[in-house]
Structure 1
Amino acid sequence: MRRSIVFWLVGLLLAAVPVQESQGQSARRADPFQLAPQRPGQTDVYILSFGLWGPQSVFESEAKGAARILEAQLGAKGRSIVRFNTKRRAGATPETLVAAAEAAGRTLDPAEDIVVLVLTSHGAPEGIGLVAGRDTRLVTPGDVRALLETTKAQHRVLIVSACYSGVFARELADAQTLVITAAAADKPSFGCQDGATWTYFGDAFFNKALRGNARLDAAFESARGLVTQREKREGFDPSNPQIAGGSQVLERLNETCRINLARQAC
């Protein structure tokens, strides 16, 4: 199933209020966040994972599963925040996203630690959709840049599982920001059936490749092959997942793996 609802999102783009406009609002309504403290002299990874599209449960499932696997593979136990929207619950509102980023910013060491931000939803060429109850809006690359900056982390990983998500790689990738996306900026991705556990990309990257290899770049290359094979087998035009930037982030993550010999997955 095609993962985009393009025409709906075009209307959303015209009518929605940007997430950035919510960042000045109080986060008092957000759930409190508990994160394990930063360990001086050690690179800690903090994970923020959000399922943004409430009407379909696959995005809740993917946000949960992605955080669980990343936490295990990157040694981030106790350092993850997972929120999602459902048909009945608005758990990943713009205010919640900002509050989670602020919580990470209060806890981590900006120069030493790494933030991993995961977003899963439907996408459009201009960004990724957020539906939380009656609140509908488009999350743009500029909004995500502001979220990443709110965490204060100098080294960041952004993983976006959505149609046309390559726009985030094009706009946000640099040496200190690794961006991984489910599709190119001009391509849809697939697998958004309500009730599914993973999208096609989420299954290939998180559920298969990352379980066997904690190196994000290596896991991505494996996942790209897996998802392309599946799409061709099922008659879809390949989504062409993207990876960009992050040379300094990967160096830091890989060095952490080498130092911590107990983590055999590294």
Structure 2
Amino acid sequence: MSRHREFAVFRILASCLLGLSLVSLPVHGAYGQAARRAEPVRLEAQRPGRTDVYILSFGLWGPQSVFESEARGAARILERLYGSKGRTIVRFNTKRQAGATPQTLLAAAEAVGRTLDPAEDVVVLVLTSHGTPEGIGLVAGRDTRLITPADVGRLLDRTGARHRAVIVSACYSGIFARALADERTLVITAAAADKPSFGCRDGATWTYFGDAFFNKALRAEARLDAAFEQARSLVTQRERREGFDPSNPQIAGGSQVLARLGAR
């Protein structure tokens, strides 16, 4: 599929999702359902006196495999960076599997909440999917929803962590920075609130931002803010080279999070 056709298809998908935000069951209503429907989650225990990093990585859009691939790849790189083996949960949707549903996302967040030390530890949440100016899409089988910044805030609260990092790889994902960032919540997004991002092609390994941030910058730079600056430069160069209006990735908040991760 050509880049222009890919973008046109995305605009149709985004329009459909925007309509669903007005008519579908709110995601937080599904979050209130019993988490016992999801598979039990076991995590390595928190280590007193240390800052452990718990990673939640979710590929939400089942019809395109790039989001599964990006969720898996981001989790592997972050897990290696932070020594988080046994403290990582990856969930994703595919054409045949509904693994990242509101229930399984809730179960993952609550499993982290039962395990970590809220004062000592950090949660890193990765979301990758299509986005609209209202939120990020979740397609799990026939279940199609729009997850808003408020929904993500409630999901973070279920982890109990006082220090959180949220990385959203989606079009228009800057809305999450505007809504969630504060000194204890670092938000990194693939695009500004009014910009699309690129590379969400079925069969691809990464989106453009995921490749620049996870696959390139974080392999060489451990600080999330420094890696972001490298990634923003890389993805902007690529977009301009290929004739796209730059997506303008965003970073906001998180001064306490960066200090805690740096002290590790």
TM-score (norm 2): 0.95
Find the partner of 2:136 among 108, 125, 128: 128
Alignment partner, residue 260 of structure 1: none
Choose the corresponding residue for 1:189, options 187, 190, 197: 197
Match 2:175 to one of 156, 159, 167: 167
Matched, 1:80 2:105: no
Q: Which amino acid aligns with 1:189?
A: S
Q: What's 1:38 paired with?
A: 46
What stretches of structure 1 of length at least 5 have no aligned partner?
A: 257-266
Give the match's secondary structure for 1:28: helix
Distance in 2 (CA, whole Å) between partners of 1:77 and 1:38 is: 12
Point out 4+ residue stretches in structure 1 off by more than 4 angstroms. none
* 1:134-153 paired onto structure 2 within 5 Å: 134-153=142-161
Residues 82-231 of structure 1: pairs in structure 2 closer than 5 A: 82-231=90-239
Q: Which moved more, 1:30-39 or 1:229-238?
A: 30-39
Mapped pair 1:52 → 2:60: yes
CA deviation string 1:56-89 (max 9, x = no partner): 0000000000000000011211110000000111
Q: Please name the residue that 2:29 is paired with.
A: 21
RMSD: 0.9
The whole-number CA distance in structure 2 between the counterparts of 1:46 and 1:16 is 31
User: Alpha-carbon deviation of 1:29?
Assistant: 1.9
Q: C-alpha distance in 2, partners of 1:164/1:17?
A: 22
Contact kept? 1:30, 1:96, Cα under 8 Å: yes
What's the counterpart of residue 264 of structure 1?
none
| Distance in 1 (alpha carbons) for counterparts of 2:154 and 2:162 | 13
Contact 1:46 1:104 in 2 (8 A): yes
Residue 15 of structure 1 deviates from its aligned partner by 2.2
Aligned pair count reads: 256
Cα deviation, residue 181, structure 1: 0.2
Identical-residue share of aligned pairs (%): 77
Structure 2 distance, partners of 1:6, 1:90, is 20
In structure 2, give the amino acid aligned to 1:88. R
CA–CA distance in 1 between the matches of 2:26 and 2:222? 34
CA distance in 1: counterparts of 2:174 and 2:97, whole angstroms: 29
SS in structure 2 of the partner of residue 221 of structure 1:
helix
Which position in structure 1 is the counterpart of 2:70?
62
Higher helix share: 2
In the alignment, structure 1 residue 240 sits paired with structure 2 residue 257: no
8 Å Cα contact 1:129/1:139 also seen in 2:
yes
CA distance in 1, matches of 2:35, 2:259: 34
8 A Cα contact 1:17 1:138, kept in partner: no
Partners of 1:16 and 1:72 lie apart in 2 by: 38
Residue 59 of structure 1 aligns to which amino acid in structure 2?
Answer: F
| Residue 263 (structure 1) aligns with | none
Paired with 1:29 and 1:207, the residues of 2 have a C-alpha distance of: 34
**d(CA) in 2 for partners of 1:18, 1:163:** 21
Q: Aligned to 1:183, what secondary structure does the other structure show?
A: coil
The CA deviation string for residues 190-245 of structure 1, in whole angstroms up to 9 with x for no partner, is 00000000000000000000011111000000000000000000000000000000
